[in-house]
Amino acid sequence: MHHILIIEYDNVIRDSLRRLLERNNYKVSEARSVDDATSHFDLDALDIIICNLRLPGKPGTHLIRMTPTPVLVMTKYASQRSVIDSLKVCAVDYLSLPLDHTQILGSIERVLSENLKEKKRACLNLRESEKPVAGMTGKCPAMAEMFRRIRKIAQTNSPVLIRGESGTGKELVARALHEGSTRKDGNLISVNCAAIAQNLIESELFGHEKDAFPGATSTRTGLVEMANNGTLFLDEIGELPLDAQARLVRVLEEQEIRKVGSVQPLMVDIRLIAANQGDLNQLVNEGRFREDLFYRINVMPLQIPPLRERGVDIIELADQKLRLCCERLGVRQKILSADAIQVITTYAWPGNVRELENAIERAVIMTEGDEIPMEMLGLDVELVKIDSMTPEPGPQSGAENEHSSASSGIDDIAPENLSLKDYFQHFVLEHQDNLNETELAKKLGISRKCLWERRQRFNIPRKKKG
């Protein structure tokens, strides 16, 4: 008899699924969260896992790569399906909510008849050989491709140009390149060109002789020389003044530096890694960046994807940062609420991983209980994608009948052009005459407390009765 584990917080959905599977001669076990499942079951020994994407604590997708057992994820919204689609290579599938009995039984039959467990095992083994690089988390296709390039490029001596928005991990990539190279026993010298005063930058980088300029009271070794036999990482290289750019071209061409005020060249053996947030091409066109330098550093371009394009990595990163933050602050481990997970996966993250780290740290400090509510993340709701934010009956909505959400009326509103606030206001004003607060909250897929808080925040007070 095939053994299926259901991971679902909602008792009504879980019971009805169990009854359906038992009627069809499957052995069924149940868990209420990912942690509950991993602490009570040997996941590899199961035949199939069926879980909700939204669970208290870790999301269901967390399991997908933990075990060769195929995972069927229950979800309602297309945006979340696309996240799961990106993982399909590991033999997962999704089940639409509200549950359709024929679809469930069909998916299970397919998983069993196509022996997807073995295929998934082979796929996971393959991935194991593609371990991410030093301290970087990421499994989405764009990050996997970047890790592959990092491993390849690290072993060469070619200059690298890293591009990526603020907080995407440019410094981490530079470190990974250094540590993956034969220069790893040498120094990695990191310089943020935007942080050094323009008139000091040449002497900082290339050093100076005593009395080379007023105030130069002794000879100084420059940062480039300190990187000898190692790696020089120039962050925000676009900020480098043109004179310093000319000296840098010389380093790359001749492997030699000349200190400010010196005629004597000095041989250096460095590998240059440069990074820039903006488009260097544009600076070249504007005459603010030397074209010859651009071509010399643009040998191996590496583009780091913004966080909002990393699919399910976002939630894994949030989980990891949450765990590390609780450890660092010495507080009890907290978990993300379903609301918080929803917002984290749909927020635009203009400040990328650094912004995520900051939001998590703030939430850990502000949250008194064990579960982090969405509000504590302090994110700008205007930057939450509304189409993914349409409410889904989640753990907080209590025991929800699997068919009731189909008739909620929520789908009647075309939400594309609405902000979360507009959407909320529209929905509440339209339905508050016919529904009580509990019913309203349930249809919005949020708790009553959350409904009350949002009424306060968006200034939509409850109508007085009579």
| Chain residues in the site for Mg ion (CB under 5 A) | 170-171
**Residue 164 or 393 having the CB closest to ligand ATP:** 164
Single residue of 54, 58, 120, 170 touching ligand ATP by CB under 6 A: 170
User: How far apart are alpha carbons 123 and 110 in whole angstroms?
Assistant: 18
**Residue 36 or 179 having the CB closest to Mg ion:** 179
Helix boundaries (H) for 259-378: 280-285, 291-297, 313-329, 338-346, 352-366
**Residue 89 or 172 having the CB closest to ligand ATP:** 172
Single residue of 127, 354, 431, 448 touching ligand ATP by CB under 6 A: 354
Least gap, CB of 164 to ligand ATP (angstroms) = 5
Q: Pairing mode, if any, of strands 265-267 and 188-192?
A: unpaired
DSSP 304: P
Retrieve residue 261's tokens: 């005020």
Single residue of 4, 13, 353, 410 touching ligand ATP by CB under 6 A: 353
Q: Is 169 in the site for ligand ATP (CB under 6 A)?
A: yes
**Residue 5 or 353 having the CB closest to ligand ATP:** 353
| Residue nearest to ligand ATP according to CB distances in the complex | 169
Check: CB of residue 122 under 8 Å from CB of residue 90: no
Residue type, 30: E
Q: What are phi and psi of 460, to 5 degrees?
A: -125, 80
- The entry of ligand ATP, Mg ion, none near residue 164 (CB within 5 to 8 angstroms by kind) is ligand ATP
Check: CB of residue 431 under 8 Å from CB of residue 464: no
Report in angstroms the alpha-carbon separations of 352 from 27, 118, 144, 165: 44, 36, 18, 8
Q: Is 190 in the site for ligand ATP (CB under 6 A)?
A: no
Single residue of 56, 167, 230, 393 touching ligand ATP by CB under 6 A: 167
Q: Is 278 in the site for ligand ATP (CB under 6 A)?
A: no
- The entry of ligand ATP, Mg ion, none near residue 353 (CB within 5 to 8 angstroms by kind) is ligand ATP
**Residue 235 or 316 having the CB closest to Mg ion:** 235
SS3 212: coil
**Residue 19 or 328 having the CB closest to ligand ATP:** 328
**Binding-residue total with ligand ATP (CB under 6 A):** 16
- The entry of Mg ion, ligand ATP, none near residue 168 (CB within 5 to 8 angstroms by kind) is ligand ATP
Least gap, CB of 170 to Mg ion (angstroms) = 5
Single residue of 136, 260, 280, 441 touching ligand ATP by CB under 6 A: 136
**Residue 155 or 166 having the CB closest to ligand ATP:** 166
- The entry of Mg ion, ligand ATP, none near residue 443 (CB within 5 to 8 angstroms by kind) is none
Looking at residues 300 to 339 of the shown chain, list those that interact with ligand ATP (rule: CB under 6 A): 317
Which long-range contacts link 439-442 to residues 24+ away (Cβ below 8 Å)?
Answer: 441/397, 442/393, 442/397, 442/398, 442/400
Q: Pairing mode, if any, of strands 271-276 and 160-163?
A: parallel
Q: Is 82 in the site for ligand ATP (CB under 6 A)?
A: no
Looking at residues 384 to 423 of the shown chain, list those that interact with ligand ATP (rule: CB under 6 A): none
Burial of 275 (0-12, 13-18, 19+ CB in 10 A): buried
User: How far apart are alpha carbons 303 and 161 in whole angstroms?
Assistant: 8
**Residue 173 or 372 having the CB closest to Mg ion:** 173
Report in angstroms the alpha-carbon separations of 52 from 41, 61, 99: 17, 9, 11
Q: Is 221 in the site for ligand ATP (CB under 6 A)?
A: no
Check: CB of residue 273 under 8 Å from CB of residue 231: yes
Looking at residues 17 to 76 of the shown chain, list those that interact with ligand ATP (rule: CB under 6 A): none
**Residue 60 or 138 having the CB closest to ligand ATP:** 138
Looking at residues 137 to 166 of the shown chain, list those that interact with ligand ATP (rule: CB under 6 A): 137-138, 164, 166
Q: Tell me the sheet residues that pair with 92.
A: 71
DSSP per residue over 358-370, as a string? HHHHHHHHH--SS
Q: Which of 34, 37, 38 is nearest to 62 (CA)?
A: 34
Least gap, CB of 356 to ligand ATP (angstroms) = 8
Which parts of this chain interact with ligand ATP (CB under 6 A)? 136-138, 164, 166-172, 277, 317, 353-354, 357
